[in-house]
Amino acid sequence: MRHWRMTPRWAVLVVTLLAAAVPAAAQDRTRQYLGLARATLEQPITPAELEAAVLSPAGVLAIAALFEKAIAAGVVAGGGVVTPELGGEATLYRGQLRFVEYPDALHPVIRRMLDLRTDPQALLDLLTGSVEGQQILAKTGGLHAHLFLMTTKPPTDDQRRVLDRILASAVAVHFKTWMVTPELQHAMIEQHEWRGRYVGFWHIHPPVQAVGGSMQGFEPSMEDMNVAMEKGQFLTIVFQPDGFDVYDLEPLATARQAVLSKARVIRYRSPEWEKRFGTGTPTVPGGLPAPSRP
């Protein structure tokens, strides 16, 4: 994930969430969310409880559904398929994990950018026309200047090739990774019902279509570890061809050390998973199903 100051420092949240004038239903949900903290303090989630929930049939199904959703949302850029990370916050209620997903605000804009890649003027209008677009413009090296160049005179083939390269880098930075802002977090808290105890933020590392066909997702990044150090419990769910690894990064925060070997890892492997994702070696050489959109 990309780093952003995320909130669950409960005292701060209580003030910022309850101070605003919001509709009653939204306030109820905010109170439910804040209630997770007390429930969790009274009865902390043990590693054994978390492991049982992850490895339960419902837990495995929920995680498989997240990967399927991410795979279906992949885009083609830079000569390959890029599958986005998904993320959000998770709770544990009656032994079951619930992953509430927070949509990344930049992902839809990136998707639209790729649709408009052959029309520099439309691309420029799209990006200057929204806060998210302006953010992408500001944080993608060379994009603004290059689009300006392409819209002042008829673009050359060479300029189009350069644009494709810049777009691929924008996808790598803003689409492949997931990020949540405090504003989005607040909005999502108000939209969902909250029950049980608080697990923490989570995000997935989807399959990577590497040369040689390995579909393994990346291990938690240094940035992930730094977020965990700041926030306490934090789950990174990494795709494997025959299952997944859930990295619970909470021990890093306790030890104050960003060292991956300190993470608790819950591993799941099964032939059913390989069948479901077409990642078993002998049957499907191409591996994963094609993404639903270009």
Q: Which residues bind Zn ion (CB under 5 A)?
A: 1, 221, 224
Q: Which is nearer to Zn ion, 40 or 233 (CB)?
A: 233
Which is nearer to Zn ion, 193 or 223 (by Cβ)? 223
Nearer to Zn ion, 235 or 288 (CB): 235
Distance between CA atoms of residues 67 and 238, nearest Å = 9
Q: For Zn ion, give the closer residue by CB, 152 or 261.
A: 261
Minimal distance, residue 271 CB to Zn ion, in Å: 27
- Complex with Zn ion: residue 1 or 252, whichever CB lies closer: 1
Residue keyed to tokens 């808290």: 189
| Three-state secondary structure call for residue 178 | coil
Least distance (Å) between residue 282 CB and Zn ion: 31
Q: Spell 161-178 as b/e; 16+ CB within 10 A means b.
A: ebbeebbbebbebbbbbb
Amino acid in the structure at residue 235: L
> By C-beta, is 201 or 277 nearer to Zn ion?
201
* Angle of CA points 275, 81, 168, to nearest 5°: 160
Side-chain-side CA neighbours of 203 within 13 Å: the count stands at 26
State the Cα–Cα distance between residues 3 and 290, nearest whole angstrom.
Answer: 30
- Least distance in Å: CB of 201 to Zn ion? 10
Give me the least distance between CB of 159 and Zn ion, in Å please.
34
CB 238 → Zn ion: shortest distance, Å? 9
Q: Closest distance between Zn ion and the C-beta of residue 253, in Å? A: 16
- Provide DSSP, 137-166: HHHSTTHHHHHHHHHHSPPPHHHHHHHHHH
State whether residue 87 is helix, strand or coil. strand
Residue 42: which residues within 8 A CB-CB, separation 6 or more?
none
Contact in structure between 110 and 175 (CB atoms under 8 Å): yes
Residue nearest to Zn ion (CB): 224
